[in-house]
Amino acid sequence: MLDKVIADLCSGAGAVQGNLDPEATWLLSVVTDFARSSGLTFSFESGLRSPTRTRELQEQWDAGNRAGLTVRPASDSLHHKGRAFDLVADKRTLDILGDFVVKLATEMNRRFRWGGRFLPPDPGHFDVGVESWT
Protein backbone atom coordinates (compact mmCIF):
# COMPACT_ATOMS: atom_id res chain seq x y z
CA MET A 1 0.00 0.00 0.00
CA LEU A 2 2.81 2.42 0.90
CA ASP A 3 4.38 2.10 -2.57
CA LYS A 4 1.06 2.93 -4.26
CA VAL A 5 0.48 5.97 -2.02
CA ILE A 6 3.99 7.27 -2.76
CA ALA A 7 3.56 6.71 -6.51
CA ASP A 8 0.24 8.58 -6.45
CA LEU A 9 1.72 11.44 -4.42
CA CYS A 10 4.78 11.78 -6.62
CA SER A 11 2.48 12.46 -9.54
CA GLY A 12 1.15 15.58 -7.80
CA ALA A 13 -0.49 16.63 -4.56
CA GLY A 14 -2.43 19.58 -3.25
CA ALA A 15 -0.96 21.99 -0.74
CA VAL A 16 -2.19 23.31 2.58
CA GLN A 17 -2.03 26.98 3.46
CA GLY A 18 0.19 28.14 6.27
CA ASN A 19 3.44 29.74 7.30
CA LEU A 20 5.72 27.01 5.98
CA ASP A 21 7.81 27.35 2.85
CA PRO A 22 6.35 25.66 -0.27
CA GLU A 23 8.34 22.43 0.06
CA ALA A 24 7.50 21.97 3.75
CA THR A 25 3.87 22.85 3.01
CA TRP A 26 3.82 20.17 0.33
CA LEU A 27 5.38 17.59 2.67
CA LEU A 28 2.88 18.38 5.44
CA SER A 29 0.05 18.01 2.93
CA VAL A 30 1.40 14.65 1.75
CA VAL A 31 1.88 13.41 5.33
CA THR A 32 -1.67 14.53 6.15
CA ASP A 33 -3.12 12.72 3.12
CA PHE A 34 -1.14 9.57 3.94
CA ALA A 35 -2.26 9.67 7.59
CA ARG A 36 -5.91 10.06 6.58
CA SER A 37 -5.72 7.21 4.07
CA SER A 38 -4.08 5.02 6.73
CA GLY A 39 -6.52 5.86 9.52
CA LEU A 40 -3.86 7.69 11.55
CA THR A 41 -4.38 10.89 13.52
CA PHE A 42 -1.98 13.56 14.70
CA SER A 43 -1.97 17.18 15.84
CA PHE A 44 0.09 19.93 14.23
CA GLU A 45 2.31 21.40 16.96
CA SER A 46 4.47 24.01 15.24
CA GLY A 47 5.93 25.15 11.95
CA LEU A 48 7.56 28.53 11.45
CA ARG A 49 9.11 29.62 14.74
CA SER A 50 11.04 32.78 15.57
CA PRO A 51 14.52 32.66 17.08
CA THR A 52 13.02 34.40 20.13
CA ARG A 53 10.49 31.58 20.59
CA THR A 54 13.28 29.02 20.16
CA ARG A 55 15.29 30.74 22.94
CA GLU A 56 12.20 30.65 25.18
CA LEU A 57 11.83 26.90 24.56
CA GLN A 58 15.55 26.37 25.24
CA GLU A 59 15.22 28.27 28.53
CA GLN A 60 12.18 26.15 29.41
CA TRP A 61 14.22 22.98 28.72
CA ASP A 62 17.25 24.27 30.64
CA ALA A 63 15.02 25.07 33.64
CA GLY A 64 13.91 21.42 33.70
CA ASN A 65 10.41 22.05 32.32
CA ARG A 66 10.17 19.50 29.51
CA ALA A 67 6.41 19.90 28.91
CA GLY A 68 5.76 19.57 25.18
CA LEU A 69 9.46 19.04 24.40
CA THR A 70 11.24 15.83 23.42
CA VAL A 71 14.72 17.36 23.01
CA ARG A 72 16.31 20.77 23.55
CA PRO A 73 15.48 22.91 20.49
CA ALA A 74 18.43 23.61 18.19
CA SER A 75 19.71 27.18 18.05
CA ASP A 76 20.01 27.12 14.25
CA SER A 77 16.64 25.53 13.51
CA LEU A 78 14.96 24.93 10.17
CA HIS A 79 11.80 26.09 11.97
CA HIS A 80 13.21 29.64 11.64
CA LYS A 81 12.95 29.34 7.86
CA GLY A 82 9.59 27.56 7.82
CA ARG A 83 11.31 24.38 6.55
CA ALA A 84 10.34 22.19 9.52
CA PHE A 85 7.22 21.21 11.41
CA ASP A 86 6.42 19.24 14.53
CA LEU A 87 3.57 16.78 14.96
CA VAL A 88 2.10 15.23 18.10
CA ALA A 89 0.86 11.64 18.04
CA ASP A 90 1.45 8.31 19.72
CA LYS A 91 4.77 6.53 19.10
CA ARG A 92 3.30 4.03 16.62
CA THR A 93 1.79 6.79 14.48
CA LEU A 94 4.99 8.85 14.47
CA ASP A 95 7.00 5.75 13.53
CA ILE A 96 4.67 5.02 10.60
CA LEU A 97 4.69 8.65 9.42
CA GLY A 98 8.45 8.85 9.86
CA ASP A 99 9.07 5.68 7.87
CA PHE A 100 6.76 7.04 5.16
CA VAL A 101 8.73 10.31 4.95
CA VAL A 102 12.07 8.46 4.81
CA LYS A 103 10.79 6.22 2.01
CA LEU A 104 9.31 9.22 0.18
CA ALA A 105 12.68 11.00 0.41
CA THR A 106 14.41 7.99 -1.12
CA GLU A 107 11.83 7.60 -3.89
CA MET A 108 11.95 11.31 -4.78
CA ASN A 109 15.67 11.79 -4.14
CA ARG A 110 14.91 14.61 -1.69
CA ARG A 111 16.41 15.49 1.68
CA PHE A 112 13.24 15.12 3.70
CA ARG A 113 14.19 14.15 7.24
CA TRP A 114 12.42 12.58 10.18
CA GLY A 115 13.61 13.47 13.66
CA GLY A 116 13.05 9.91 14.84
CA ARG A 117 16.41 9.13 13.23
CA PHE A 118 18.25 12.00 14.93
CA LEU A 119 20.53 11.54 17.94
CA PRO A 120 18.92 12.16 20.31
CA PRO A 121 15.65 11.19 18.60
CA ASP A 122 12.95 13.82 18.08
CA PRO A 123 10.16 11.67 16.59
CA GLY A 124 7.64 14.49 16.15
CA HIS A 125 10.01 16.55 13.99
CA PHE A 126 9.93 16.56 10.18
CA ASP A 127 11.88 18.83 7.87
CA VAL A 128 12.81 19.28 4.23
CA GLY A 129 16.51 19.90 4.77
CA VAL A 130 18.49 22.98 3.86
CA GLU A 131 18.15 22.78 0.07
CA SER A 132 15.19 24.49 -1.57
CA TRP A 133 13.16 23.44 -4.59
CA THR A 134 13.67 26.93 -6.00
12 torsion bin: left (phi>0), alpha (psi -120 to 50), beta (else):
left
pLDDT digits 0-9 by tens, 90-128: 999 999 999 999 999 999 999 999 999 999 999 999 999
pLDDT at 5 over 50: no
For every residue of 14-75, DSSP letters joined together read ----SSS-HHHHHHHHHHHHHHHHHT---EEEESS--HHHHHHHHHHHHTT--TT-SSPPPS
Annotated domain spans of the chain: 2-48+80-127
What stretch of H or E contains 84?
strand 84-88
What pLDDT band is residue 33 in, cutting at 50, 70 and 90? very high
Supply the mean pLDDT for the chain: 85
